Structure formats: structure tokens, C-alpha cells
Amino acid sequence: MTGKTLLLGQTLAYQADPFAEGPDAARHMAHGGVLIENGRVQAVADGATLRTAHPDATLHDYGDALITAGFVDAHAHYPQTAMIASWGKRLIDWLNDYTFPQEMKFADPAYATEIANRYLDLLLANGTTTVCSYCTIHPASVDAYFTAASARGMRVLGGKTCMDRNAPEGLRDTPQIAYDQSKALLEQWHGYNRNHYVITPRFSPTSTPEQLAALGALWAEYPDCLMQTHLSEQVDEVAWVRGLFPDARDYLDTYEQHGLLGRGALFGHAIYLEDRERDRLKEADASLIHCPTSNTFIGSGLFDMGGLMAEGHRIGLATDTGGGSSFSMLRTMAAAYEIAQLRHNPLHPSQLYWLATQGAARSLHLDHLIGNLAEGLEADLIVLNLSSTPAIAQRAAQANDLWEALFPTIMMGDDRAIADVWVNGKRVSR
């Protein structure tokens, strides 16, 4: 039996950044094909041509459905799965009333395993094939997450969340414990199967300078790992940081002083940036992760996509579940569009879809492996039904081009639009 698989349908790939090149950065084929072998994309070309050249390939004909890279979620909190859409709180109250009590439950390895499996199944149902997630302070939460991902063949990123102040006793460690446990987990999981360990201080208010310094030292020892945290999400949070770190020049400086700024740093939110922070983030080639449904749900503010892209920042897109109110990257794209509209900067569908695939992969420094339909990349793919509901179908039927056909799914689509999912070249049972 051949080891080749051929998917037929419309295809969407990117040859460049649509923020720089416009919609022409994308390559669309109305009758395309994707040849998969050994977990990788071997060719993306005219479907009939590939079918003739590879008659022995196992065939999956999706008709006029759209084959693309799987979605990449660049910032999430899998332990918050069970408390998503909790009502009515600003960030700090929301953490104390909902997040921290939920995360306390992850002291139980069985509970961590249950939620990790539930979470990754929800992601796959929504077409997300890679995620970068915070775990909890408990090493078992990291073990459960990477074990569940390995069972599904997914490429995921994550790490133990470290906190040694301004959190309940059961969710605090110490600088030394944070360093020791993070190092042990890193050495166990980083590079195992498709797992990437990410050094993870939650954010400056929940880490003392000593803990931030310890994690900065760990990152210096393992510079091939990424580091994730939060930055300038809400106005009152920024003021809180200013009071906790009176000697810091700004919020970013609380990380920079302790070795937590550099290429491979992932900063979630980044809404209220000062000029110095914008300059240093760009100079360091750090990634900024836009979390639009979270920013609206918790009332944080409006991310400056237009201005930051114009400055050349590395930007990814993310659900930020459970502060974000959806597991779907389609809904996340819709929210990003709405926020950009409020800033008088309409995003084209080509830009939105790039942010959720190649852009997010680029923010995680994984665009050489995932995030696009291209020869040699890993075959993490999804198939979109562009007429998944009557409301979407009647609008798509009037489309004059791909973008008019795709945009209704971006704005109104959900898991019903995900016709199929392929992870590492294998079809996911649905």
C-alpha cells in the first residue's frame, strides 16, 4: 500500500506576508491538491496534475471545500477550559474569583489529565492543530498537557506557570522551586515528540524580582526555548506594576531587568505600550500576541494592529481561553477584525487568515515547520466548508472571489465549518 495521500479541493497558501504585499501574497487554486507523505506536505499543485502523477495515492476529494494550514493559537490557558465564559469581571477580580480557584484543582493529576484531553479535543474540533498554552504551577499539569498532545500527534508549546506572590498559597512556589521544576520539566519534555517547553512566569505582579531573575537565568541556559508572559493588558494592571516595581522604567523593564526580553519572548496582549517599550520590543524581535476576544470580554482595550504592524513587529493571534470567550480561531479572527474596525484599520480576509496560520506560527518561531501549505512543511491541515450554515451559504453563494467566499466563514463560522482535520499527516477521527 502506498504511503502517499492526496487531498483535492480548493487550496490556500501564502507566498509572502499580506500585511506587506496585500492579498496577492496568497496563492489560491480553485482545483488544487495537496500531496502528503511521511507526515509532510510533498507538493501543492493543480489537483488533476497531482492525481495523474500519483495514481497510487490514497485519495480524499473534498470538492469545493478549502484546504489550508491548521490554525495556530499563540496564547492560551488550557487549565481555564472549564471556566470559560465566566461572567462579568475585570482582570484582577477575574483572576481571584474564577481563575485561581480553578487552577487549584490541578493539584490532582487525574483532573489535569481530564481537562488536558478535553481541551485538545475541543481545539481539534475547531481546526486548531497547534497551541501555546500556560499550564498551572503544578508539574502534573505540564505532564498531562504534553502527554495528551503526544497521544494526538500534535505540535504544542507550554510550560509550568510560575508565581511566588499575589496568588493563593496553593498556587505559589518560590524562586528556587520555580527554577528547579521548570528546568526538570524542560529537560523531560522539550523536543520530546512534537512538544516545546516554554519558560512561563505568569506576569510581573505574581512574581518577585528574585523569581523573574531565576527564570531569566534559566532562559539564558536554554536559549532555544521560548519564554511567555503577559504585558500591559489593562490600565489598572499597568498601574499595579508601577507600584510593585518603582525602579522600573516601564512595565517591559520589569522583564528586561531580569533577562526576560529577547528573541523568542512572547508577550500576550501588549495593548498599553509606551514608546520606549515599542522600540525595545521591535529591537529585541520579541513577539506580541493579540488576544481579541479576551480583550473585549474582560474589557481590556483595543490592540494597535495597524501601528505595530507598520513598525515591523512580530505579531501572532490567539484565543486566550478562558479569558477569551471562544476556542475557535474563526471567532478570534472575527474579533480581530472588529477591534481593527474600531481603530479605523480594516483588516483584509487575507491578513486575518494569515494571522491565524502563518503569522501565529511565525510569532512562535515555527513557521519553518507549520502554518502554511508548502512543500516540506508538516502536514497539519484543515478542510473548511465555506457553506457550513444556511446564513453563511447564502452569502458565500454571491461571492465573486475567494475572499468574499471566505469572509462570511471568518465572521460567522464555528466548529461546523471544520469539515476535516489532519495532524502530522494523519486524519483526525471526528
Residue 44 is part of which domain span?
4-70+371-427
d(CA 400, CA 402): 7
Q: Do residue 31 and residue 100 come from a single domain?
A: no
d(CA 424, CA 422): 7
Nearest 5°: CA angle at 420, between 60 and 374? 70
Q: Do residue 205 and residue 275 come from a single domain?
A: yes
Distance of CA 422 to the CA centre of its chain: 18
d(CA 241, CA 233): 11
Task: Name the helix (H) or strand (E) containing 179.
Answer: helix 175-189
By C-alpha distance, which of 59, 132, 52, 145 is closest to 427?
59
Q: Do residue 37 and residue 93 come from a single domain?
A: no
pLDDT at residue 175 greater than cutoff 70 = yes
Is residue 230 within 8 A of residue 203, CB to CB? The reply is: yes
Q: Do residue 404 and residue 423 come from a single domain?
A: yes
The C-alpha cell of 329 is what?
480561531
pLDDT at residue 176 greater than cutoff 80 = yes
Q: Do residue 300 and residue 407 come from a single domain?
A: no
Confidence (pLDDT) at 429: 75
Query: Which residues are CB-neighbours of 151 under 8 A, at least 6 positions away?
Result: none
The model's pTM: 0.97
Q: Do residue 338 and residue 381 come from a single domain?
A: no
Confidence (pLDDT) at 85: 85
Which tens digits make up the pLDDT trace of 32-49? 999 999 999 999 999 999
pLDDT at residue 356 greater than cutoff 60 = yes
d(CA 360, CA 356): 6
Please state the domain count of the chain: 2
Domain with residue 235: its CATH number is 3.20.20.140
Q: Where are the alpha helices (DSSP H) in 321-386?
A: 329-342, 349-354, 360-363
Confidence (pLDDT) at 415: 97
By C-alpha distance, which of 11, 123, 17 is closest to 71?
123
Q: Long-range contacts made by residues 38-43, C-beta under 8 angstroms, separation at least 24?
A: 38/3, 38/425, 39/378, 39/379, 39/424, 39/425, 39/426, 40/376, 40/377, 40/378, 40/379, 40/425, 41/373, 41/374, 41/375, 41/376, 41/377, 41/378, 41/379, 41/381, 42/4, 42/375, 43/375
Domain with residue 19: its CATH number is 2.30.40.10
Which tens digits make up the pLDDT trace of 254-299? 999 999 999 999 999 999 999 999 999 999 999 999 999 999 998 9
Indicate the residue among 339, 363, 387 that finishes a domain: 363
More confidently predicted of 100 and 271: 271
Q: Specify the amino acid at residue 47.
A: G
Q: Do residue 126 and residue 136 come from a single domain?
A: yes
Q: Do residue 54 and residue 76 come from a single domain?
A: no
Q: Do residue 184 and residue 235 come from a single domain?
A: yes
Confidence (pLDDT) at 430: 61
Burial-class residue 23 by CB neighbours within 10 Å (0-12, 13-18, 19+).
Answer: middle
Q: Do residue 406 and residue 324 come from a single domain?
A: no
Q: Do residue 132 and residue 262 come from a single domain?
A: yes
Confidence (pLDDT) at 2: 57
Helix axes 329-342, 402-412, angle to 10 degrees: 100
Is residue 361 within 8 A of residue 130, CB to CB? The reply is: yes
User: pLDDT confidence of 1, banded at 50, 70, 90?
Assistant: very low
d(CA 159, CA 6): 36
| Mean pLDDT calculated for residue range 10-15 | 98
The C-alpha cell of 278 is what?
515599542
Which tens digits make up the pLDDT trace of 357-404? 999 999 999 999 999 999 999 999 999 999 999 999 999 999 999 999
Q: Do residue 309 and residue 413 come from a single domain?
A: no
d(CA 130, CA 316): 13
pLDDT at residue 309 greater than cutoff 50 = yes
Which tens digits make up the pLDDT trace of 116-171? 999 999 999 999 999 999 999 999 999 999 999 999 999 999 999 999 999 999 99
pLDDT at residue 172 greater than cutoff 80 = yes
Confidence (pLDDT) at 41: 98
Query: Which residues are CB-neighbours of 103 under 8 A, at least 6 positions away?
Result: 79, 80, 136, 137, 161, 171
> CA torsion angle for 188, 146, 326, 69 (degrees, to 10)?
100
Indicate the residue among 334, 363, 392 that finishes a domain: 363
Indicate the residue among 324, 339, 363 that finishes a domain: 363
* CB atoms inside a 10 Å sphere around CB 183: 17
